[in-house]
Amino acid sequence: MSDAITHYRQLRELTINELAYVLLMLDHPISADALAEMERCARPVTVDDLVAIAYVLDTTPAVLLSHIPIDMPESEGPLATGLPSDVDQAELRAWLEGKTALDRESRVSWWNERAGHLRVRSAHHEEQLQGAYAELRDLGDLAVQEADALPVQRLRWRIQDGEYALNQSEIALALTEHRLDSLRNGA
């Protein structure tokens, strides 16, 4: 929670004093000192605080609760007390938002649905990439002769971006299918 509050406060370009002021105006006074203690993990965040802070920071309690600092080392245990150790951030958020349960059958269903979305995304990226390759082939010699021309450069950038997006989708799909296999096999 501490990193989430800091992250979203900074993202909204608010100082601690400004956040405290807005909370005061919403009839949920939390002093700047108390907010600073929350951001340093020196003070617990109540459910009421969580709701009010999420509202002011234009996010949701689920987003704040499922926030994982970008520099957090790989967890050796669960993301939150009492959860299965293999629940990742996306699944945690889905659970917090009531989109899935954490029993085995629900988790398999959720991961299967996620894999389906990733398959569609990969197919879309593949189709877009093939279209860009076809445009480049249609240009033929012109693409070679006019390699520095802006339209040719844009097409090459589109291909580069498409290759990257396809690669990322395929990696995400492979990881998702691995997680799904592990859940199905009870590992």
Tell me which of 18, 49, 72 is where a domain ends.
72
Provide mean pLDDT across the span 174-184: 93
Q: What CATH number did the domain enclosing 113 receive? A: 1.10.287
pLDDT digits (tens, 9 = 90+) for 86-95: 888 889 889 9
> What share of the chain has pLDDT > 70, as a percent?
93
Asked if the structure places residue 99 within a domain, the reply is no
Position 118 pLDDT exceeds 60: yes
Q: What is the 3-state secondary structure (H, E, C) of 14-41?
A: CCHHHHHHHHHHCCCCCCHHHHHHHHCC
Asked if the structure places residue 154 within a domain, the reply is yes
Asked if the structure places residue 88 within a domain, the reply is no
d(CA 97, CA 110): 13
Q: What CATH number did the domain enclosing 40 receive? A: 1.10.260.40
What token pair was written down for 9? 């406060």
pLDDT digits (tens, 9 = 90+) for 5-57: 999 999 999 999 999 999 999 999 999 999 999 999 999 999 999 999 999 99
Are 65 and 22 within one domain? yes
Are 68 and 130 within one domain? no
pTM of the model: 0.66
Q: Which of 131, 81, 111 has its CA nearest to residue 176?
A: 111
Range(s) of the domain holding residue 157: 104-184
Asked if the structure places residue 97 within a domain, the reply is no
